[in-house]
Amino acid sequence: MKYLLGALFSLSLLVVSAQELKRPDIPGDLMVDVGFNVWSSMPGDLERSVWSSKSIGLYYSKRKVLSGKLSFNYGVGLGLEKMSLGDTVTLASNYSDNNDTPNNPDDDFIRPVALITNPENFAKNKLATTYLDIPFELRFHPLGTEDGEGLFIGAGGIVGLRLNAHTKWKYDNNGETTRQKIGGKFNLNSFRYGYQVRAGFKGVHLFYKRYLSNVFNDEFADGSNPVMTTIGINVTGF
């Protein structure tokens, strides 16, 4: 939590400094989303921790002014998601009992498995994913706009391609702190898509993203397959 608050404070200082300094004439803006993400449900015995689940979006954004009150904004960049999975259970690749073999790692099936018998020793347990995202939206400026800035509300969509993923664990192993980072596909959906809503003034605004695609390719044994929601604050205009 303290790291997220620090990031928000730093972003605020940066945008103020950027407004005071003369910007080079670059046809676009750096757009930074910082917030929290949640899954609609937690499969199996996985646990939810909203304050430890963070989302960061780094986008190069451009806008096209359509009229005195309408603009179209679009961009491309990286979406970084970290999901906290609780203190007793995590995700791991296990081969199913019938068709999958170690020679076919692309066919692996993911299920939650217990890792640490003493939950007091599990200090960190996260799934991190990186996406190549393309956000786009139509913005309405009720007070009018000449260059796409000012007070606005906007709605649009976002599509993304998963680039990589890994789990990260930290726990006590016989009195010694052990850290593990394991990369893999984790049966995650390769694509994601959803809608977004934004509202704010000039270079600072709030956002809400709701992904309609499931996080995983297949359902878990309990029939669950969550979707992700992200909410936070944006700073634009570096």
pLDDT top residue among 147 and 57? 57
What per-residue string of b and e applies to 21-41 under the rule 16 or more CB within 10 Å gives b? eeeeeeeebbbbbbbbbbbee
What is the rounded distance in angstroms from the CA atom of residue 113 to the CA atom of residue 111? 6
Q: Given a cut of 80, is residue 177 above it in pLDDT?
A: yes
Most confident of 61-70, 115-124, 145-154, 155-164: 155-164
Which stretch of 43-47, 154-158, 227-231 has the lowest confidence by average pLDDT? 43-47
Question: Mean pLDDT in the chain?
Answer: 81
- Contact present, 199 and 206 (Cβ < 8 Å): yes
User: How confident is the model at residue 214, as a pLDDT?
Assistant: 96
User: How confident is the model at residue 27, as a pLDDT?
Assistant: 76
pLDDT mean over 180-206 = 92
- The alpha carbon torsion through 43, 48, 52, 56 (nearest 10 deg) reads 50
Q: Given a cut of 90, is residue 117 above it in pLDDT?
A: no
Q: Given a cut of 50, is residue 99 above it in pLDDT?
A: no
User: How confident is the model at residue 24, as a pLDDT?
Assistant: 53
pTM: 0.80
pLDDT top residue among 113 and 233? 233
pLDDT mean over 63-89 = 92
The beta strands (E) that lie in the chain are given as 29-39, 54-65, 70-84, 89-94, 109-114, 122-140, 151-173, 176-183, 191-201, 204-211, 228-236
User: How confident is the model at residue 21, as a pLDDT?
Assistant: 47
User: How confident is the model at residue 48, as a pLDDT?
Assistant: 83
